Amino acid sequence: MANSKYEYVKQYELDDSLLPGCWIVVRIDGKGFTKFSELHGFEKPNDKRALDLMDECAKEVLNEFPDVRLAYGESDEYSFVLGRSTDMYGRRASKIVSLLVSCFTANYVAKWAAFLPDTPLRSTPMFDGRAVCYPLDSNLRDYLSWRQADTHINNQYNTCFWALVKSGKTPTEAQATLRGTQTAQKNELLFNEFGINYAHLPEQFKKGSVVLRRKTMVEVKQRADGTPVLRERNLPTVLHTDIIRDEFWNEHPQLMAP
Ligand code: GTP
Ligand code: MG
């Protein structure tokens, strides 16, 4: 074979398959979104349009890849959970990560104008990605709890920080005011100084976004008389809910199923 003398190079392609029997979590994160959000005038600390765009892209990832059973997102990041027994692309890490990242990024660009119609896209959004294996159900629960706790901590801090800056403090002064403060003190500061009740802020900002499939009635066609024909479909749905407590997992037992 004319090609055979070159074929040995294939041996350099190492196996990168992810451990069998483990949960696979792929977390993607926007590259340089501090700058990207400035460039596009995102509202501080949370821009609902940008967060809705992230949620929409995550839904598209679930539409495209049936093996992704759950996603959790906040700020410029999203985590995608694949079941323990998935055989998607032979569990090859680079294949899975690169496809999820490119699916998300392509949708981010394609749907940008629908979510930020008055803001032209002025740079190319990019996302990095990594895959991590978790052997125990409790590891997966702890991972997701870690991300949601992070959402709360960041959101509370950023809400205080930007309220102080918008009221005239410099970023350094705002940082100094917040240094060492506990949750309750931050809530008091928001309420007493700015009349903001933290509990009343949008759930999307406080809890982040969960995407899972839910039975939904959709119109599949219309009868001759114009009445719709509805069918039940399992469609990706976004929730802004607590995923740390057991209630969520008891309500959605299919998420932890083997
Ligand atoms: P790398 O991920 O290391 O490339 O850096 P990064 O600049 O993306 O920072 P990181 O991922 O740690 O943090 C995300 C950043 O995105 C935040 O610090 C914010 O500046 C920005 N960001 C994300 N969502 C919003 C938003 O809704 N509004 C605003 N104003 N900024 C946001
Ligand atoms: Mg980032």
pLDDT score of 258: 84
pLDDT score of 183: 92
Instruction: Name which residue sits closest to atom 23 of ligand 1, judged by CA.
Output: 75
Q: Give every CB contact of residue 202 below 8 A, 6+ residues apart in sequence.
A: 46, 48, 240
List of domains in the chain = 15-152+203-207 (3.30.70.3000)
pLDDT score of 1: 61
Q: How far apart are CA 68 and CA 52, in angstroms?
A: 19
pTM: 0.95
Ligand 1, from 76, 78, 115, 158: best to mutate by most atoms within 8 Å of Cβ? 76
Residue 104 backbone class (left: φ over 0; alpha: ψ -120 to 50; beta: rest)? alpha
State in Å: Cα 150 to ligand 1 middle.
Answer: 13
**Percent of the chain residues topping a pLDDT of 90:** 98
Query: Is any atom of ligand 1 closer than 6 Å to the C-beta of 52?
Result: no
Ligand 1, from 27, 28, 31, 33: best to mutate by most atoms within 8 Å of Cβ? 33
Structure-block tokens of residue 87: 């055989």
**150 CB-contact burial (10 Å; exposed 0-12 / middle 13-18 / buried 19+):** middle
CB 212 within 8 A of CB 229: no
- Tens digit of each residue's pLDDT (9 = 90 or more) over 19-64: 999 999 999 999 999 999 999 999 999 999 999 999 999 999 999 9
